[in-house]
Structure 1
C-alpha cells in the first residue's frame, strides 16, 4: 500500500479545470445507449466507440481520468494499443468500475444493495497489473415512502467501506459513490436529508475500516428535487444546499468531490457544477465524474459510423471544455453555441 501514490492520484484526478469521464457502462446499459442511436451492440462496436472517445485530440486538457468497464480494460485500439495505454498517452489516468451491480436487499423489497465483494481482492490486483490507478464502486439509494431504511444505508455504506479498504490495499485510489436517485416526486429538503444520512453512514464505515481519506474521492449526487417534483429550483439553490450537506458530512481530508450527472441533461449538469464552483472556496475540490452528460452528444454525432469520428471528437471536446469552465465557475449558457476553432 503506497498512500502517497494513491493520494497523488486523487489530487491529479481533481486538478483545476479537469474532471473524470465515466465510460464504465455495463454491457446491457451500453446496448441501450447504442440502440438509442440506432446501433446494435457488439463487442467490436463497443470497442470502436470507446476508441473514438479515448482518441479524441486534446482529451487530457479537461479530462483527468476515465472509468473503464472490465471489457474495455482488456480491449485494444485498432492499431493494437491497449485502451488503458491509449489513455495514458493522452495524459489521462485509467480507472476501473469494480462493483457487481445492485440486487434486491433481502427483507427490504423496495431497496437494493450493491454486490461484488466476493473475489474483489484478486480482481483489484489484476486491474492494477492491467494499468488501472483508481477504482469506483456505486451504491444506489432510493427515496419513497419509508425508504431508505437505516438498514439499507448501513448495508451499502459497509460495502463501500470494505471495497475502499481493499482498493487501497491493492494500491488503487477508491472513488466511493453513494448515489441518491432522482426518481420520484420528493422535494429538495427530502433529498438533502437522505443525502446527509447516506454520507454520514459512509464516512462512519470508512473510519471503521481504516480507509485513508486523503487517498480517496467521493462521487456524490447533487442535492436535487425528484424528477417528478412540480416546482423548479434554481441552480444557485441546488449548489447552496449541496455544499451545505457536504459540509456537515464530508471530512476536509477528502481531496475532492466528483459529482455524478445521473438524471440531468448535459446543460443542467454543467450549469449546476458551475454554480457550485461560484460559491466561496470549500475544503475540497468540486469536480465532475460525468457519463451521459459528456457522452450523449458524442453518441449522437458518431451514430455507429467511424466516418463521423471528427464530429464525435468535436462533440466531446466541446462538452469537456464547457465542464472545464464550470470547474472555474465560468460556464455561461451561451457557451453551448460556441464551438472551438
Structure 2
C-alpha cells in the first residue's frame, strides 16, 4: 500500500463512493438509472452499460477528491478503462481518489439468521491482479438478519480469516458485516457484532490494518470505540436501504463515522439527463454526503 494513500484514508475528510454493484445487483442499479433489462441481451452488454454509467459518474467534475476519499469498484470495472486508462489508475492519478475492489462472490443462502459469503476460490489470483492494477484495498460483504450469537460469530470469523489473507497480500481489507436495517432485533445484533469485532481486532498484530463497513447503528455513537481502535484505519457506514436524506441524518449523529454509500449516492442520476442536469444531481448528492460525513 502507498503510505500517502493510507494517511489520506485514515485522516482525510470525505467519504467513500461505492460503485461496486455486481451481477446480482447490476440490473437494479441500471433500472434505477433508467435503463431497463430490454436494453441488453446478455451479461456482457449489461456490464458494458453499467461501466458507461460508472464512467459518467467518475469523469463528472462533481466526482471530486475534495469530497471523496475513495471509490469501491467491481472486478469488471477494475479491468476496464476510462479514457484509455485502467479505472483504478484513472481514479488515483487523474482524480486523486483511492481505489478499492469488491472481492466477495456474493452471499450464501440464509442460515441461522445470517448470510455468510460464498467461497472466494480464486482470491489469491484476484489479489495479484488487484496489486497489478494499483488497488489500495478490498471490500467483502456478509449480512446479519437475526441476533444469533453463534451465527454472528461465524460471520466475523469468516471475515477476519479472509481479511488476513488480504493483508498478507499488501492490501487493506474493508470488513462489511451488514446488519439488516429491517431486522426486528437490529440493536441486539449490533451489540453481539461489536463484541465479536472487538475480540478479533484485539487478536490482530500491530501492523495488520483493517477498515470496517457497518450499518448505521440504532444507538448514536455505538461504534465510536471501534473508530479509535489502533488496528482500524476507518469505520465507514453503508446506507442499507435508507434514502439519502435519512442516511445522512442518521450518519450526522455518529462521530468518526463516514459514508460509503452506493444507491444513496446515485439515486437521483438518470441515463437521459443532460450533462448539466447529471452533474448538478451528482454534485448535490456528493456535497450532502460529504457534509454528513464530516
User: Which residue in the other structure is 1:30 paired with?
Assistant: 26
Distance 2:195 2:112 in 1: 24
Q: Given the superposition, is the C-alpha separation of residues 205 and 134 from structure 1 closer, same or farther in structure 2, using an over 3 Å criterion?
A: same
Question: Which structure has the larger Rg?
Answer: 1
TM-score by length of 1: 0.76
Q: Tell whether the 8 Å contact from 1:13 to 1:19 is kept in structure 2 after alignment.
A: no
Q: Tell whether the 8 Å contact from 2:18 to 2:262 is kept in structure 1 after alignment.
A: yes
Q: 1:59-105 CA deviation, whole Å, 9 max, x = no partner?
A: 2110110000011111112x322222221210001110011111126
User: Which residue in the other structure is 2:129 paired with?
Assistant: 126
> Is residue 256 of structure 1 aligned with residue 234 of structure 2?
yes
User: Which residue in the other structure is 2:177 paired with?
Assistant: 178
CA shift, 1:149, in A, is 2.3
Q: 1:195-245 CA deviation, whole Å, 9 max, x = no partner?
A: 1211222332344464745x2211111123xxxxxxxxxxxxxxxx231x3
CA shift, 1:248, in A, is 6.0
Stretches of 4+ moved more than 6 A in 1?
A: none
Distance 2:19 2:206 in 1: 26
Q: Tell whether the 8 Å contact from 1:13 to 1:20 is kept in structure 2 after alignment.
A: no
Distance 2:23 2:115 in 1: 20
Q: 1:148-205 CA deviation, whole Å, 9 max, x = no partner?
A: 3233112211111012111111111111111100124x2xxx4222112112223323
Which segments of 5 or more consecutive residues in structure 2 lack a partner in the other structure?
41-45
Q: Choose the corresponding residue for 1:193, options 188, 195, 220.
A: 188
User: Which residue in the other structure is 1:228 paired with?
Assistant: none
SS of structure 1 residue aligned to 2:141: strand
Q: Tell whether the 8 Å contact from 1:94 to 1:134 is kept in structure 2 after alignment.
A: yes
Q: 1:125-163 CA deviation, whole Å, 9 max, x = no partner?
A: 2111112111111110003xxxx3233112211111012
CA shift, 1:271, in A, is 1.8
Q: Choose the corresponding residue for 1:102, options 104, 107, 115.
A: 107
TM-score by length of 2: 0.87
Q: Given the superposition, is the C-alpha separation of residues 109 and 275 from structure 1 closer, same or farther in structure 2, using an over 3 Å criterion?
A: closer
Q: Give the alignment's Cα RMSD to 1 decimal.
A: 2.3
Q: Given the superposition, is the C-alpha separation of residues 207 and 177 from structure 1 closer, same or farther in structure 2, using an over 3 Å criterion?
A: same
Q: Choose the corresponding residue for 1:319, options 257, 275, 285.
A: 285
Distance 1:102 1:207 in 2: 27
User: Which residue in the other structure is 2:276 paired with?
Assistant: 310
CA shift, 1:10, in A, is 4.3
User: Which residue in the other structure is 2:216 paired with?
Assistant: 222
SS of structure 2 residue aligned to 1:297: coil
Q: Given the superposition, is the C-alpha separation of residues 18 and 37 from structure 1 closer, same or farther in structure 2, using an over 3 Å criterion?
A: closer
User: Which residue in the other structure is 2:13 paired with?
Assistant: 17
Q: Tell whether the 8 Å contact from 2:116 to 2:143 is kept in structure 1 after alignment.
A: yes
User: How many residue pairs are counted as aligned between the two chains?
Assistant: 283
User: Which residue in the other structure is 2:96 paired with?
Assistant: 91
Which segments of 5 or more consecutive residues in structure 1 lack a partner in the other structure?
225-240, 278-284, 329-341
